[in-house]
Amino acid sequence: MTSRTWLYLAWFAAWQICAIPLYRAEWKGSVIAAGLYRASEEDRRFYADGPVYSVLHTAQQFVPIGGSALFITPTIDPEGWYLEGKFKYYMWPRRLLLVPAARLRQERTMPDTDGIVLFDPRGQLADVVAFLDGLPALTKVHELSLGRTYQAIYLKRH
């Protein structure tokens, strides 16, 4: 073999060694995809969206198309944005307004919307839940605790 061939071989070996984390992740991904091979669309969505899926799915049923909802998260940035993007996408054409829990605690007032979606990934919003539970204008139509994740949907009483 020529020196050029050896050089190519060395490059290829080095490249493949550095790609090991990628291949490992691909293997993990393939196992997950194989597990979803015969799964329903709902299971696939649950895998992609995690616990957000169940509250989204329910909110889509309760908030009317063309209506609006308030979305309450513990933080704005970056996790709040991340969740807001996902909620906005799946809730469209319903309008979604993001309100961080801190602002709600401070102002104790809310914009007028058809419903309120609360998603709390780390169990930090017990006081906000108590506040919303105490509002006579609202009815809680959905509530779910999955580990530390808490989610709820409130609708305006008519």
- Which residue in 6, 8, 42, 64 binds another protein (CB under 8 A)? 8
Among 10, 64, 81, 105, binds another protein (CB under 8 A): 81
CA distances from 79 to 99, 142, 154 (A): 13, 23, 22
In sequence order, the 6+-apart residues with CB closer than 8 A to the CB of 150 are: 118, 120, 123, 125, 129, 144
Q: State CA 147 to chain mean position distance.
A: 15
CA-CA distance, 44 to 27, in Å (whole number)?
Answer: 18
Chain center to CA of 52: 4
Beta bridge partners of 139: 155
| Residue 48 makes contact with another protein by CB under 8 A | yes
Assess 12 for contact with another protein (CB under 8 A). yes
Shortest distance (Å) from residue 92 CB to another protein = 6
* Interface region with another protein, contact rule CB under 8 A, candidates 56-64, 80-88, 108-116, 124-132: 80-88
Provide the minimum distance between the beta carbon of 19 and another protein in the complex, in angstroms, as a whole number: 4
The yes or no reply on residue 10 touching another protein (CB under 8 A) is: no
First to last CA, the chain: 83
Residues that bind another protein (CB under 8 A): 4, 8, 11-12, 14-16, 18-23, 25-26, 28-30, 32-33, 36-37, 41, 44-45, 47-49, 78, 81-82, 85-86, 88-90, 92-93
